[in-house]
Each structure stands twice: as structure tokens, then as C-alpha cells.
Amino acid sequence: MPLVAALVAVSLTGCVTQQTCVSWVDYETTQDTYDDAQLVVRGTVDRIVGTRGVYGVAAPVHRVEVEEVLGGDDPGSVIEVASTPMTCMGDAGEYPDGDPLAVDGEVVLFLTDSEGGWRLITPFDGVLPVPENGVLPFVPADG
């Protein structure tokens, strides 16, 4: 009987995935988010094109059509962006409010380059709908 218990324990251990638990920055203003991002673009999220590991989570990667670069180096007219997960949410899931990149219309994305490509700067500060009046709540570095 001890041999069976040992085999079960090894089998269960082999199924565990390693995940990093992240404490996210809580930006006070949109300007703070802009200032901390490596890339800020205005564009349209098109579709999911795959997944990529982000902090041990299989994060959906979206195709984004870039209309304007508001901060950082020009990445080209199309980029792929991972939805940054909350991490360590247990049964609540990694996206308790839904995938932050599952949006319609034009948005501003605040991005950082990590783990092999672009991702949202945080799970909750990475997507800003473009206001109807077009006035953005931050001042771009060249503006």
C-alpha cells in the first residue's frame, strides 16, 4: 500500500503548474499609468491569435491594429498583446471581470514588454476606451 500512495503523490505533483503571484501597482492617475508604460498606443483590438505564458498563466494574445503611437517606439501597424492576468485567483479565475482586451471600439493600451512580447501594464490599468470627445486624460511625452 505505501507504494501506491507514493505513485499517486508523484502523479499529482506532476500536474501542478508553477505560477507567480503578483502584487500590482495601483496607479493614482492615468498620467501615472502613461508615464510607467513602455509603449502606449491608440488602436483597435481585433481577435485572439493564441496564448502566451504570463506569470504561469496561459494568457490570451490579441491582435491589435495600431492607429497612433502615443508613447514609446513605433511597433508597426499591427502588434500582438497578451491580457495580463490577475494571478493567484484560485477558483475565481485569472480574469474575474473578463478578459480586459475583449473590447469593442477604439482604445488606448498601456503596455510593457515582458516574457516574450507586449502585455497590458496591469490587469486593470492597461485598457482605456477613447473618450467620445477625443480628449485623453494624460499628456503624451511629446505633447
Task: Give the pLDDT of the chain (143 residues) as one tens digit per residue.
Answer: 333 333 222 233 344 456 678 778 889 999 999 999 999 999 999 999 999 988 888 899 999 999 999 999 999 999 999 999 888 766 556 788 899 999 999 999 999 998 679 999 999 999 999 999 989 999 887 65
Q: How far is it, in rounded angstroms, from Cα 142 to Cα 52?
A: 32
Q: Residue 41 burial (CB < 10 Å; 0-12/13-18/19+)? A: buried
Residues 6 or more apart whose CB falls under 8 angstroms from that of 33 comprise 27, 110, 121, 125, 138
Q: How far is it, in rounded angstroms, from Cα 106 to Cα 55?
A: 28
Position 23: which residue type? S
- Note the pLDDT of residue 17: 52
- The pTM of the full predicted model, rounded to 2 decimals, is 0.82
- Note the pLDDT of residue 93: 61
